């Protein structure tokens, strides 16, 4: 199985801050990586696929980058509605695996 390691596990930030979350794959996965946002009590929502392709309707302050083993999700200017938990997911090989999550909290 491909291990996905996210960091940090939590981050406290102010509205307007730039936030970066990293995800490292245990072996190369090309760009078969997605990012999801999950708010309490809700299902995850796909934000980014193919490492950097923003889903329709997702604000442009979200961006993704990386290939191979190292990936980042960046929120350029944190908004109140962005406080949530974010997960990465590798889709290169079975079984699909997720990172442990990063909780973005209000400072």
Instruction: State which residue, 55 or 77, has the beta carbon closest to other proteins.
Output: 55
Give the range of 19-27, 30-38, 58-66, 72-80 binding other proteins by CB under 8 A: 30-38
- Joined together, the tokens standing for residue 79 give 């908004």
Rule CB under 8 A: say whether 64 interacts with other proteins: no
Q: How far is the CB of 19 from other proteins (least distance, A)?
A: 19
Cα separation, 66 vs 77, in Å, equals 20
- Joined together, the tokens standing for residue 49 give 């696929």
Among 45, 54, 67, 76, contact with other proteins (rule: CB under 8 A): 45
| Number of amino acids touching other proteins (CB under 8 A) | 21
Cα separation, 36 vs 4, in Å, equals 14
On the CB side of 37, how many CA atoms lie within 13 Å of its CA?
Answer: 18
Residues 6+ apart with CB under 8 A from 49: 34, 55
Interface with other proteins (CB under 8 A): 32, 34, 36, 43-46, 49-50, 55, 87, 89, 91, 94-101
């Amino acid at each position: 199985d491909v291990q996905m390691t996210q960091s940090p596990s939590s981050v406290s930030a102010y509205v307007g801050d730039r936030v970066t979350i990293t995800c490292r794959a245990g072996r190369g996965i090309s760009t078969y990586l997605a990012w999801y946002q999950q708010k309490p009590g809700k299902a995850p929502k796909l934000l980014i696929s193919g490492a950097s392709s923003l889903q329709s309707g997702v604000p442009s302050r979200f961006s993704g980058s990386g290939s191979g083993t190292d990936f980042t999700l960046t929120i350029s200017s944190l908004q109140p509605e962005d406080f949530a938990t974010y997960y990465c997911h590798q889709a290169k090989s079975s079984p699909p695996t997720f990172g442990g999550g990063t909780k973005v909290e209000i400072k």
